[in-house]
Amino acid sequence: MARVTSFDIAALAGVSQPTVSRALSGNPAVSAETRARVFAAAEALNYKVDKNASNLRRQATRTLALLFFEDPAPGETQINPFFLSMLGAITKRCAVAGYDLLISFQQLSGNWHVDYEDARRADGLILLGYGNYLEYLPRLEQLVQQGTHFVRWGSLRPGQLGTTIGSDNLGGGLAATRHLIERGRRRIAFIGTANEGAPEFLDRCEGWRAAQAEAGLVADPALMRAANSSEEEGYAAARDLLAAGAAFDAIFCVSDLVAIGAMRALAEAGRHVPDDVAVVGFDDQPAASLTSPPLTTVAQDARHAGTVLVETLLDRLRGEIPSPQALPARLVVRGSS
Amino acid sequence: MARVTSFDIAALAGVSQPTVSRALSGNPAVSAETRARVFAAAEALNYKVDKNASNLRRQATRTLALLFFEDPAPGETQINPFFLSMLGAITKRCAVAGYDLLISFQQLSGNWHVDYEDARRADGLILLGYGNYLEYLPRLEQLVQQGTHFVRWGSLRPGQLGTTIGSDNLGGGLAATRHLIERGRRRIAFIGTANEGAPEFLDRCEGWRAAQAEAGLVADPALMRAANSSEEEGYAAARDLLAAGAAFDAIFCVSDLVAIGAMRALAEAGRHVPDDVAVVGFDDQPAASLTSPPLTTVAQDARHAGTVLVETLLDRLRGEIPSPQALPARLVVRGSS
DNA sequence: CCAACAAAGGCATACGTATGCAGCCACAGG
DNA sequence: CCTGTGGCTGCATACGTATGCCTTTGTTGG
């Protein structure tokens, strides 16, 4: 395991160490012949640049860090598969750009133990996941003060810190609710947490409200129930809705998981989907097409989102000031509506 | 963004740079009083160790790299949620141990383009994912020759390279098939690719065979169909089985996805689950409890698996030679059997 | 035939940290 | 009062690379 350094290959190629460095990095001041000798020697000794030394010298890491915020739910939380696809796209885009990716799962409730540390190990940060937005706002301010570059997956609002990329949640909520109205539904319930702590969900809720207003309908507060993005809460919320005795012929759910839970509650109560109640979810998770009936939902392109996140961050690192960007959310109609 | 170095905090604390280094790393040769001054100064200037410099000096990175092998299927493959839970557990265990985690998604078919170890970016490797085992065997040999430490998620076999951790696939296959036999099934089909390229699946198949042998039954080759871990292939395999006209009253599927596809084919053919045909899957993915009827399956504890992987790798790094380990696979009985 | 110039590569050094070694000081034992 | 010992800290240096600057060599024009 004797370390192969640039000196070794310099000796083999009969040149100096700096020449090796220049040759390998494509510096044009090196003659073609010398370059060839250097490459041959490097190949022969299986030489690889020591990134620690290289980064130290160049004062850059060529590494991005991904901070994933998990819901602080106790025990085994079911992580959203949406983010996994995103993760795949992110790693790929990083690899293509020659960046490494450092990943860290964060408990939002606990200490945000990375902040400065990761800011130093990486050239830029990608912030991802669900959780109370207000809770980590102070951290974002901190990052901005440090001059740390970061992009965030979330809901677009004016005057936000850093660059935010997110789905067109409002548009998705509009599309879903318009669809239900077109199908003749008039009493549309909404299940999902809608407050400033979860801006994505708030936007989807706003779409629900606006689509009804367009059609001359009134979004009935009595048909709203809170639920975070879990099946259990969706189930509980739907049961509560049923128990309250309110009349409704459709539910727009803030996520597929919630919708799946709601459908379970409906089935138990003997309500048929979609004849009695139509259900629409959000995300288009793999599980969405497995329910019976298959779930109508609003699809977000996770892989595209991941790619955009990385590209936006790289833009920032290059000194550009990329604008926030809303990615299309597309209605996928299946059997549940 | 002027860089804060250990010299800065040395100046502020009125000591030398080496003393700062020692104080921060907990070297007992530093007096408590000095240590306190150093910590105060570091806190005041928000100093964080430069890991590039530190790693370079110490010739160790305190970083692990995770190589995730994706199936080389074209387009948007549906990544197994099982691995996401595992990923979460891995990152957590790394954080606890003070290690960072680099992640890279690899196309098994393409070049293995990351050389974290060569580039001194990571102290050890975790290899994960599905794919043809035989295809990356040469790479493993390469790693061993370089003296690289790695652990692998896969199937345990005698004489394997590195340390392998995996589920008790044989035991899981046995449990699943015994369960079907106890339920009175006598003609049990198997859907799944069973060859040396996918050793996990081969083991599960062997469980299917052995359980029948125990009961004096014969595993009928006519009831076997190949399918990789996708719903589509499960669907196609089950259709093929039905078309062949073979009599069977149960199917043991190599994964939940395959089972879900198979159940779809059965439903289309008018076969009732579980009355006509019992179905058992493998993995206990979240989707497994959503099917109708809910899927009986063999659960693997992904989070535990991730933890064990990291701990095993850390053992290796400490110079121990950990044994391969098979983690329990537990039958979860639901409505499909 | 000499000066001017370009091309190519070597020399020296800096990046920030960790650690072997030596030095200093205080205190205790003789 | 001198020497030995141990606790603490400073000095010097090395990790491997990248780059500014200078030297060398070869070429060209006057």
CA-to-C1' span, B114 to C29 (A): 63
A 136-165: CB under 8 A from B: 146-147
pLDDT by position in tens, chain B (length 337) = 457 899 999 999 999 999 999 999 888 888 999 999 999 999 888 888 888 899 899 888 888 988 887 665 544 445 567 787 788 788 888 877 878 888 877 665 555 555 666 666 788 889 887 767 777 777 778 777 777 889 999 888 887 888 999 999 999 999 999 999 999 999 999 999 888 888 889 999 999 999 999 999 999 999 999 998 788 899 999 999 999 998 999 999 999 989 999 999 999 999 999 999 999 999 998 788 888 899 999 999 988 999 999 999 999 988 888 889 999 999 999 999 9
Alpha-carbon gap, residue A116 to B63, rounded angstroms: 18
DSSP assignment string, B74-139: SS-----HHHHHHHHHHHHHHHHHT-EEEEEEEESSS-----TTTTT--SEEEEEE-S-HHHHHHH
Q: Domain spanning A6-49 has what CATH number?
A: 1.10.260.40
Alpha-carbon gap, residue A42 to B152, rounded angstroms: 30
Question: Could you tell me where in chain A the CATH 1.10.260.40 domains are found?
Answer: 6-49
Looking at 3.40.190.10, 3.40.50.2300, 3.40.640.10, 3.40.50.620, the CATH number of the domain B63-167+302-327 comes to 3.40.50.2300
* A149-153 β-sheet, strand order: A325-327, A163-167, A149-153, A124-129, A63-70, A100-107, B100-107, B63-70, B124-129, B149-153, B163-167, B325-327
pLDDT in tens, A91-114: 888 877 878 888 876 665 444 444
Phi, psi of B100 (to 5 degrees): -95, 165
Which residues from 73-92 of B have any strand D atom under 7 Å from their CB?
Answer: none
Residue A303 forms contact with B (CB below 8 Å) = yes
Alpha-carbon gap, residue B301 to A245, rounded angstroms: 41
Q: What type of residue sits at position B223? A: L
Please state which CATH class domain A169-300 belongs to.
Answer: alpha beta
- What is the rounded average pLDDT of the residues A167-175? 96
Contacting residues for B151 by C-beta, under 8 A, at least 6 apart:
B124, B125, B126, B127, B162, B163, B164, B165, B309, B312, B313, B316
Residue B56 forms contact with A (CB below 8 Å) = yes
CB–CB of A79 and B95 under 8 A?
no
Note the pTM of the prediction, 2 decimals. Answer: 0.81
The pairing of strands A329-332 and A325-327 is unpaired
Decide if A164 contacts A127 (C-beta within 8 A).
no
- Tell me the pLDDT of chain A averaged across its residues: 86
Q: Could you tell me where the DSSP H helices lie in chain B? A: 6-13, 17-24, 32-45, 51-58, 81-97, 133-146, 169-182, 199-214, 231-243, 256-268, 302-317
**CA closest to B261 among chain A residues:** A290
- What is the rounded average pLDDT of the residues A183-189? 96
Name the closest nucleotide to A52, judged by C1' and CA.
Answer: D16
Task: Identify the residue whose tokens are 């850093």.
Answer: A162
Which of A3, A55, A102 faces B100 most closely, judged by CB atoms? Answer: A102
Question: Could you tell me where in chain B the CATH 3.40.50.2300 domains are found?
Answer: 63-167+302-327, 169-300
User: Residue B248: its pLDDT value, please?
Assistant: 96
